[in-house]
Structure 1
């Protein structure tokens, strides 16, 4: 796979800087690796389709609803969609690492160990968000189906139903990854802990707005179930960023400790 190789002349300098071409090559390589991993993950995702189908349809069937395959190709399309969604979940360690390695390039050996620790946190967070979505899914379906009038029946198109479910589950998972990327921005010096804390009000409001959009139920409880963990994770990310900033301050010369990070890096 020669097209994945970085040209010999395109080497990072000692400070980890890269040219635009090197960044594009790095991005291409990361995307290809993540895409290949997801493509391989489709195989077990395809095999797990039947149990996942039964699990996801159960909330609707408990309310007397049914999924409907209106088109000839709908069963295959839904099967492929579910397999791809499961592949994204199963290969989370691979593509999370690719995203992290692209955002935070040129790591030292110690920083790589720290990065592996962050990945060890990021993957459970993503899976935890997906699990939380599965836990709240019956409540969401129950509330939405309850608006059906007594004279109506819930016969929902399978593609529309599973598109809603996959977006719902993956949105929870990606929401729980946000603190990891906040810490990544801190590691590369873009987002100091003090800046993160100064925007806590907007972060809390944003978390609740996102939770309200991703939990399409009129009751506030499902919104709080998503928003409160997101707020807690935001403050957890701030705590990690504060510790990292303190470590960097101890390593800096004493005469630069009162200088902001972005200015100290140019001294």
Structure 2
């Protein structure tokens, strides 16, 4: 119950930060809307109906309000990312050892810029992805993009790119706490890179290869940096603290001669028995 109450408190704080960001997004809707729609408005397809003005389509009565809500939610998700990322980390930190908690500030300081970098990359490549997709339209077809559809595309791109940039940091975190050694990552390196390209192909909402490559290549670069960190850290770690270098059927080196009282007993000989302890045990 204590863990559930802690999770509830963390979720409430994160939701309050999102709500505050949504309120600010409603207030400053016009400049945010202009910034969000710039990737599409830079394309010639956005001025087919009106030569000097970027146009979108609205089909439903409530679409205008939903567009305002989505724009505000997108703004709140990015702006409040330091708050909800900290709440996630603060919920995990109590389960760590003392020597693992000292990395908390470093991981949190890296998680926020990585998420923002992924979101920024998604924003800057959206125009190219849209240009490739709209380029498949026939000459006699008029592209009429709906506002809700465009915002859904932009929101999914920002979330996927931002979260994907956090995966290498998760690898480093698992290595620091001793769950994921570098030997395991090096053994499956090719498979991990293949899975990254497959994930980029499936996760990106557009089907163009440019968006897939734009997501996969930074992930591979960050994966290489994370693997290099894991290699250097495992190399400095004493062999006695890490048995990942042993094969599955190889026994680890244990000191059979050391007793719990700090005295050494030759291997193969029974430990001396205290007569007083033995008498007490027999009496019991």
Normalised-by-shorter TM-score class:
0.7 to 0.9
Matches within 5 A, 1:232-243: 232-243=221-232
CA distance in 2, matches of 1:192, 1:48: 47
Larger helix proportion of the pair: 1
Paired residues, number: 238
Higher relative contact order (CA 8 A, sep 6+): 1
Q: CA 1:30–1:181 in structure 2 vs 1: closer, same or farther (change >3 Å)?
A: farther
| CA displacement at 1:140 relative to structure 2 | 0.6
| CA displacement at 1:42 relative to structure 2 | 1.6
Unmatched runs of 5 consecutive residues or more in structure 1: 1-20
2:206 matched residue in structure 1: 216
Q: Is residue 133 of structure 2 the alignment partner of residue 133 of structure 1?
A: no
Give SS of 2:94's match. Answer: coil
Q: Is residue 243 of structure 2 the alignment partner of residue 259 of structure 1?
A: yes
| CA displacement at 1:102 relative to structure 2 | 2.9
Structure 1 residues 1-45: Cα deviation after superposition (integer angstroms, max 9, x where no partner): xxxxxxxxxxxxxxxxxxxx4433333232222222212222222
Q: Is the 8 A contact 1:103 1:184 kept in 2?
A: no
Q: Is residue 31 of structure 2 the alignment partner of residue 47 of structure 1?
A: no
Structure 1 residues 25-80: Cα deviation after superposition (integer angstroms, max 9, x where no partner): 33323222222221222222223432232233334332233321222211111111
Give SS of 2:145's match. Answer: strand
CA distance in 2, matches of 1:245, 1:30: 33
Matches within 5 A, 1:12-91: 21-61=1-41, 62-65=43-46, 66-91=55-80
Q: CA 1:34–1:63 in structure 2 vs 1: closer, same or farther (change >3 Å)?
A: same
Q: Is the 8 A contact 1:38 1:87 kept in 2?
A: yes
Give SS of 1:105's match. Answer: helix
Scaled by the length of structure 1, the TM-score of the pair is 0.78
Unmatched runs of 5 consecutive residues or more in structure 2: 47-54, 246-250, 256-284
Match of 1:181 among 160, 170, 175: 170
Match of 1:165 among 154, 157, 170: 154
Q: Is residue 75 of structure 2 the alignment partner of residue 94 of structure 1?
A: no
Q: CA 1:257–1:113 in structure 2 vs 1: closer, same or farther (change >3 Å)?
A: closer
- Cα RMSD of the aligned pairs, angstroms, is 2.7
CA distance in 1, matches of 2:171, 2:17: 25
1:4 matched residue in structure 2: none
Scaled by the length of structure 2, the TM-score of the pair is 0.74
| CA displacement at 1:83 relative to structure 2 | 0.8
Match of 2:180 among 180, 191, 197: 191
Q: Is the 8 A contact 1:143 1:217 kept in 2?
A: no
CA distance in 1, matches of 2:86, 2:184: 26
Q: Is the 8 A contact 1:129 1:176 kept in 2?
A: yes
